[in-house]
Amino acid sequence: MEPSERGERPAGAIDDTFDNQANTLEHIHFDIFTLFPAMFVGPLGESIVKRALDNGLISICLHNIRDFTTDRHHICDDTPYGGGGGMVMKPEPIFRAVETVLNRQPGWQLAPEDAYVNLPEWNAGEPVSLPTGVPIILLTPQGRRLNQQVVTELSRYPRMALICGRYEGIDERVRSQLVTDEISIGDYVISGGELAAMVLLDSVTRLLPGALGDDLGAHRDSYSLGLDGLLEGPQYTRPPSFRGEQVPQVLISGHHGMIARWRREQALLRTLLRRPDLLARTTLTAADEAFLRRHGWPPTDEVGRQK
């Protein structure tokens, strides 16, 4: 199978622009493969994700990988070849679950009474072709790093599969033969892919028109196109004075032009102080550059060379 047929992209091939165009999709379906579906109940039942589910912007099917086992003890893991501690997730239940589900319409789920005993026909030795344009994403600390560009890119797929690893990880053949993308939520290790899948799902859902009740909301957040990839500046609400600290006068001036300029400068300043690396990828106006220069940008070394 050609990588491009399945929406696969080479590792490290992240588009290096802040291409966060407004999303035009009206609905995304997520198939989530996990050994712990109950972990999703709380996060999917609250706030923005719940509202997106209720309003039909997203749909989610949780597939318990264990339901796709046929042995007496429903085993999904085994000891690693070559020794070493921990257990490794077996390939067969994952292949069986993903190949069965993705070859059916979005929304299909194995009926609870069919788990283990009445599974659709499947042959472990025969590769199954899968629909094109449906990324099969493994959550792994070894994947490409999730950031707003990756989130935006993923928000353009009407359907995607998320595979949550557990234990010491999964059998390598899941990566080499089934998965089309690998995503990490950061350079640290958590105990399973479920929390990472929730982070991905939440960040993608926010971008769908209507998800925030304010279509511009997500596009004015830090890292987004509306902010040219900058960090958002400080925000205030009532009261105007709290413990001796006043809301900046400009915000209560009612002068929209000055407020917009102040917000832009605060975003520039905050980015300069916290994430100066982002400025290199931002489209800066002459006024932005003049403002940043007054605040010590670009950084120079001791002989005045630009760092």
Site for ligand SAM, rule CB under 6 A:
139-142, 164-166, 168-170, 184-186, 188-193, 196
Residues 196, 139: contact at Cβ < 8 Å?
yes
Token readout for 13 is 């091939």
Residue 297 CB, nearest distance to ligand SAM (Å)? 32
Considering beta carbons, is residue 188 or 286 the nearer one to ligand SAM? 188
The question of whether 221 is a catalytic residue gets the answer yes
Q: Which burial class, exposed, middle or buried, applies to 229 when counting CB atoms under 10 A from its CB (0-12, 13-18, 19+)?
A: buried
Considering beta carbons, is residue 178 or 267 the nearer one to ligand SAM? 178
Considering beta carbons, is residue 204 or 269 the nearer one to ligand SAM? 204
The catalytic position among 92, 99, 221, 288 is 221
125 contact partners, CB below 8 Å, separation of at least 6: none
Residue 47 CB, nearest distance to ligand SAM (Å)? 22
The question of whether 182 is a catalytic residue gets the answer no
Residue 192 CB, nearest distance to ligand SAM (Å)? 5
The catalytic position among 6, 206, 263, 264 is 206
The catalytic position among 8, 168, 232, 289 is 168
Considering beta carbons, is residue 7 or 141 the nearer one to ligand SAM? 141
Strand bridging mode 58-64 / 28-34? parallel
Considering beta carbons, is residue 145 or 255 the nearer one to ligand SAM? 145
Residue 42 CB, nearest distance to ligand SAM (Å)? 19
Considering beta carbons, is residue 32 or 196 the nearer one to ligand SAM? 196
Residue 21 CB, nearest distance to ligand SAM (Å)? 26
The catalytic position among 91, 93, 135, 141 is 141
Q: From CA 192, how far away is CA 139, in angstroms rounded?
A: 9
Alpha carbon dihedral 192, 194, 199, 204, in 10-degree steps, equals 130
Residue nearest to ligand SAM (CB): 165
Residue 80 CB, nearest distance to ligand SAM (Å)? 10
Which residues does the annotation mark as catalytic? 141, 168, 206, 221
